Structure 1
Amino acid sequence: MVYLWVGAAGFLGASLRYIIGVSLFHESAVFPFATLTVNLLGSFLLAWLTTGLLVRFSWPAHIKAALGTGFVGSFTTFSTLSIETVTLFLDGKTSLAVLYIAASIFGGLWMSRLGFQVRKGEETG
């Protein structure tokens, strides 16, 4: 039964990721802002969920798996980040590729930390 929950949440996460991607994508864009935005939001959301909402309430394991693995897992996308980075390198845009990698890694870490801090503030406030 957990597979159905993860699949349903994955459908929602992937659909939202597609909507955001289409909304932020521009053919003339030289930088992959859509994927970066989705991955940074996903980093924040997963940290916020796992440090508070999923711990604070005693939700069944299948709901936790659906939200973390299903929804957030399908919302974020490492494979797209990889392809876009390689494409930037192949197009000779080395500086943008390095910037993209740095923004993705350090931005993701920062957004995760922010998610932890927001959740901690909610608990004390």
Structure 2
Amino acid sequence: MTEPVDPDVELADARQRQELRRSHYRVLAVIAAGGALGTGARYAAALVWPTPAGAFPWTTLGVNTLGCLVIGVFLVTLTEAWAAPAWLRPFFATGVLGGFTTFSTYCVDIERLVSTGRAGAALSYLVATVVAALAAVTAGAWITRLILAAATRRKARRTR
């Protein structure tokens, strides 16, 4: 690699390499903290709404859809309306929501449905999750942009 990862860091300078290493550890720490919160919330959802063996995994579908909706709202808000601290995006988007949404469980659920002879339900679940996740993130982003635009228009009317 001929260019440094961060153009402000001169990799030949030992002090700057050390600073870059420390910043990576801080980012990993906030992601891990957020991930612990997100996985705890996902586990709580599974306890509150357990999926019986061989049943359609509505809880996992709901958790993944909700997480995608929230990430659509959050990232539009973060990138278009709010100057947040640098640690917030990795903490919440990658950590909390990455831990909350559970696409590994999604794959296990598909395998369980297939192994119990419910291939049709597995295929439905496979498609429904992808469609619901994409629709949720798109709706979250779209609705947030509409709300932000309406707020901007109201603010402009008040200043006239």
Q: Give your verdict on TM over 0.5.
A: yes
Q: Match of 2:73? A: 48
Corresponding residue pairs, total:
125
1:91 correspondence with 2:116? yes
SS in 2 for 1:92: coil
- Correspondence for 1:119 among 144, 148, 151: 144
Which residue matches 1:60?
85
The DSSP-based 3-state class of the residue aligned with 2:89 is helix
Higher relative contact order (CA 8 A, sep 6+): 1
Q: Residues 44, 81 of structure 1: CA spacing in aligned structure 2 closer, same or farther, 3 A cutoff?
A: same
Of structures 1 and 2, the larger Rg is shown by: 2
Structure 1: gaps (5+ residues): none
Decide whether the 8 Å contact of 2:51 with 2:58 is kept in 1: no
Verify the 8 A CA contact 2:42 2:63 in the aligned structure 1. Answer: yes
User: Using a 3 Å threshold, how does the CA distance of structure 1 residues 54 and 5 change in structure 2: closer, same or farther?
Assistant: farther
- Stretches of structure 2 that go unaligned for 5 or more consecutive residues are 1-25, 151-160
Alignment partner of 1:18 out of 19, 35, 43: 43
Task: Calculate percent identity across the aligned residue pairs.
Answer: 27
Q: In the TM superposition, what whole-angstrom CA distance separates every residue of 1:28-62 from its partner, at most 9, and x where no partner exists? A: 66100111110000111111111113542111221
Contact residue 25 and residue 33 of structure 1 kept, 8 A? no
Q: 1:24 to 1:54 in 2, by over 3 A?
A: farther
**TM norm structure 2:** 0.73
More helix by share: 1
